[in-house]
Structure 1
Amino acid sequence: MSHHRTRRRVALAAVASAVALGIGVSPATAEPVNSPGVVETSVKSSDGSYIQKIEVKDSRNVRLHVYSAAMNNTVAVDVLRPSDTSEARPSLYLFNGAGGGLDDASWKRNTDALEFLGTKNINVVQVVGGAWSFYTDWINPDPVLGVNKWQTFTTEELPPLVDAALGTNGVNAVAALSMTGTSVLNFAIAKPGLFRSVATYSGIAQVSDPIGQQMVKLTVETWGGGDTRNMWGPTDSPLWRANDPMVNAEKLRGTNLFFSTGNGIPGEFDQAGGKFRMESPAETPQVVAIGSVIEGGVNWSNHNMNTRLNQLGIPAKFVYRDSGTHSWGYWQDDLKSSWPVLAEGLFSTP
C-alpha cells in the first residue's frame, strides 16, 4: 500500500472514531497534511467543546486552542507530534506541576523530557493551565483561581478532540509530577481504560487524612491563594475521600502503575547553582529545606499506597530513591525510569 493511501486510511479511521464519539468532522477535509500531521482543523464535540484553532509552531509542534464547555474558557494544549505520522500513534498526556505549565516550572523549561519522548513515535500532549487546582472538578468558582473543571476537561472533553484532530490511535498513557501526580491517579480512577499506564513522580497518593489534607491546602491555599472549600468543601466533606487515590485504589486495577519518590535527604540535584536549580544560589538552602519536607510527606504517602495496592493484589512499580528532595533533576530521571511502564500501556496489546 502506498504511503499516500496509508495516510488516507489513518485519516478515515480518525474520522470514524470521531463520529463514534459524537464529534462532528468533515471527511472531505480529513486528508492529513505531511507535517506536523494535522488531520482535521474543525472539530466539535457533542458536549459543546471544540478546537478553536490549531497553531503550527514547527514541523513537530502544534498548539491546540480548545474551548472547554465545562469551564466556558479556552485552554491551550501543546502537542509534540511523532516523527512519523504515516500511521496512527498513541498519546502520552504529560502534566506539569502546581504551576500548570504557566510558569518556569515546566518539563520543557527544566528537563530534556521532550527530547527524550520525541524519539518514541508518540504524541506528547501537555495541557497549559490549571495552576494550583489539583486538576479536579471544583464545586464552586473560586475568587482567585476561577472556574475549575479540569477532570472533566482532561477525561471527557479533550481526548476525543485530540484523537480526531491529530489522527491518533486512541491509546493513551499519562504521567505527572507533584500536585498533578494526585490528579492523574484520579483521572484513571474516574475513567478506567482511558489511560492504560499512569506514572506519578513525587505525587501525593492520599489526600483525605489530616496530613494529606494539609499538603493539599499548602498547595491550593498557601501557594495558590485559592480556597479548598470551593474545591472539595470542608475537610469533613465526602468529596475529599471521593478524590483520594488510596481510598479508591481498587479502581486502579488493570492499569500499569509507576510511582517514584525521594526521601527528603538532599542529594545530587540539590546543590546551589546546580543545573536543575531554578532559584538563585543564595536561596537554595531555604528552597531545598522546603522541598525536603514536601518530599518526606510524599514518601510517606507513597509507602502507604504501596501497602494498599499490595493488600488489594494490584501490581505496581515503586521506585524509592535513597536521596532527593522535591525538584526537577529527580523527575527527569524518574520519567526515563518510568518509560517501560508507560510503553507497556502505549504499545502492548491489552
Structure 2
Amino acid sequence: MSVPSAENTGADQRTTASRIPLLRRAGRALIATAAATALAAGLTPSIANAQEVGTLSPESVANDALGTISPESLSQILYLGNLPGSSGSSMMGIANTLGFSPNMFAGPPPPSPQPNPNITETKVVGMTERDGRYERWLVDSGDMKRGITVEVYRAANPGAPFLYLLDGVGSELPSGFMQWGAAEQFANENVNLVIPTGGQGSMWSDWNQQDPVLGISKWEKFITGDLPRLLEPRISSNTNRAIGGISMGAGAAVTMATRHPDLYKGVFGVSGCYSTDALGQILTRFTVESRGATLNNMWGEPGNEQWVAHDAMINAEKLRGKAIYMSSGTGVANPGDWAAYNNDAANFVTGMALEQATGQCTHAADRRLADLGIPADIDHLPTGMHNWSYYSKQIPVAWNSIKHSVGA
C-alpha cells in the first residue's frame, strides 16, 4: 500500500501549479495576522534570520513568510494565537473572516458518484479482495444507489467485538487507517475493524439533497443501520461495538454515538470538532466545500434544528456511560512535519491552522463533559499538526482507552 505524506482536512496536497501564487498570498495573510496577534500580546516568536526581534512586524512576517522564517517558527507563531480565551484569533476563523474559500486549498474534486438506478436494494454483494485478515467487501446501498467498498480487518478470535473507524475528508481506498499501519497496530487486538470508504467531504452524514459533486449521501444510515444488520453477522456473533475517527471522522463518530446511544459502548475522536457552533460551522464548511460540494445540501442553512441535532456537545448527555477518548495537538510542528508536507508552505500553514482549531474544539468538549460530570480521557498534546503523522500515533492510545467497553 502506498503511504501519503500527510492528510489535511480541507487541504488536498495535490495543489495545482496555477493555484500556487494564490496559496502563497493566502498563507502570507494568515501568517501576518497570527504574528500581529502574538505581537499585540507582547510575545516574541523565534524567527530564523531575524537580527533583532524588535524589528519584527506583521508586514515583515508576511513579506518573508515563505523565505526567511523557518517552519518551526511558523508553527510557534500559530501556537501563540492559541492562547487561553483567544478563540477569536483562530487561524481558521481569520481565514473565514477574510473570505478565503476552501477551494483555494483543494485539488480537483473527486469524480461525482453517479447514481445507479439498478441498485434498489441494500445488500452485501461479496468480498472483492482478501489478504490474510484484511478484506474488502462490496455492499450495495439502495439509498445511495451505488456500491460501497468496506474494509474489514478481522481479529484472530472469531468471536471478537467491532470497532468502526471513520476516515478524514479524503476517505481513500485503501483508507488512511490501513495506509498508516492499522493492520500492525491491531494485529494482536481482540477486535474486528470495519472501515467504510468513499465518503469524501460528506461528514459521514445523511444529506437532505443529492449533491452535484458528492452524489447521494446517506452515510449515517449505512454505518449505523445497514452494516450492523448485514455485514457484522458474516464476521462475528459478538454485537459489542465502538466507533472512532480522525478529523472529519472524529466529529462524525462522536455525533453518531449521541444519535445512536444504544449502538456504541465506546467512542473516540482524534483531531475533531464536536459542535456545530461558530467554529464548528467554519470547519464543516471548509470540509464540505473543499471537495466542491454545496454545504446547504447537507442539513440546510447552518444554525437550524438539523445542525443542532448534529451538535454532539449540545447532546452530550447521550454519551453518559460510554468510554470516551479525545485528543488534539496545538498546530506546533514536530520534527519531520515540514518534509512531510513536501516543503509546501501553504498546506503546511493550513495543517497548523486546522489542528489549532480542532484543539479549541477539543478543549470545548473537555469543558462541556466536565460540566456534565461525564468521565472522559482527553489528551491536549503540546505539539502535533493536522496530518496522519499525528493521527497514527494517537489511534492506539485512543483504542487502549476505550477497548474495555466492548470487552476487548
TM over 0.5: yes
Q: Quick one: which amino acid aligns to residue 219 of structure 1?
A: T
1:107 aligns with 2:177: yes
Residue 115 (structure 1) shift: 0.8
Q: Deviations over 1:183-216 (max 9, x none)?
A: 0011111111312111110011212x22211111
Q: Structure 1, residues 108-159: CA drift from partner, whole Å, max 9, x if none?
A: 22x2222111211321111111110000110000011110010010001111
- State the distance in 2 between where 1:179 and 1:269 align: 24
Pick one of 308, 323, 336 that aligns with 2:396.
336
Is residue 129 of structure 1 aligned with residue 198 of structure 2? yes
Q: Gapped runs of 5+ residues in structure 1?
A: 1-46
Structure 2 counterpart SS, 1:57: strand
> What residue in structure 1 maps to residue 143 of structure 2?
70
Amino acid at match of 1:214: I
Per the alignment, residue 205 of structure 1 pairs with 274
SS in 2 for 1:135: coil
Q: Which residue of 1 aligns with 2:352?
A: 292
Q: Please report how far the alpha carbon of residue 94 of structure 1 lies from its aligned counterpart in structure 2 after TM superposition.
A: 1.5
TM-score (norm. length: structure 2): 0.68
In structure 2, the partner of 1:58 is 131
* 1:44 alignment partner in structure 2: none
Three-state SS of the structure 1 residue aligned to 2:249 is helix
Unaligned runs of 5+ in 2: 1-119
What residue in structure 2 maps to residue 92 of structure 1?
163
The superposition leaves residues 147-174 of structure 1 with CA deviations (integer Å, 9 ceiling, x where unpaired) of 0010010001111212211133111111
User: Who is 1:167 aligned against?
Assistant: 236
1:150 aligns with 2:210: no
Distance in 2 between residues matched to 1:262 and 1:171, nearest whole Å: 30
Counterpart of 2:142, as a letter, is A
Normalised by the size of structure 1, how large is the TM-score? 0.79
Query: In the TM superposition, what is the alpha-carbon distance from 1:295 to its structure 2 partner?
Result: 0.8
CA distance in structure 2 between the aligned counterparts of 1:300 and 1:167, rounded to whole angstroms: 38
How far apart, in 1, do the equivalents of 2:132 and 2:354 lie?
A: 39
Q: Shift in Å at residue 56 of structure 1?
A: 4.2
Q: What SS does the aligned partner of 1:314 have? A: coil
The answer for the alignment partner of 1:256 in structure 2 is 323
Equivalent residue number for residue 239 of structure 1? 306
Structure 1 pair 194–325 and aligned structure 2 pair: CA distance change class (3 A) = same
Paired residues of 1:269 and 1:327 also in contact (CA < 8 A) = no
**Percent identity at matched positions?**
31
Return the letter of the residue paired with 2:312: P
Quote the offset at 1:82 in angstroms: 1.5
Matches of 1:74 and 1:256 in 2, distance apart?
33
* Distance in 2, Cα, partners of 1:226 & 1:56: 31
Q: Who is 1:34 aligned against? A: none
Identify the structure with bigger relative contact order (alpha carbons < 8 Å, sequence gap 6+): 2
- Aligned mates of 2:129, 2:283 — CA distance in 1: 39
Give the match for residue 335 of structure 2.
Answer: 268
Cα distance in 2 for partners of 1:303, 1:158 equals 32
Choose from 384, 387, 406 the match for 1:324. Answer: 384
Distance 1:119 1:189 in 2: 29
Contact 2:204 2:220 in 1 (8 A): yes
- Structure 1 residue 269: deviation in Å? 4.6
SS at match of 1:54: strand
SS of the aligned residue for 1:303 comes to: helix
Matched-pair contact (CA < 8 Å) for 2:171–2:198 = yes
Distance of 2:314 and 2:190 partners within structure 1: 35
User: RMSD in angstroms over aligned alpha carbons?
Assistant: 1.7
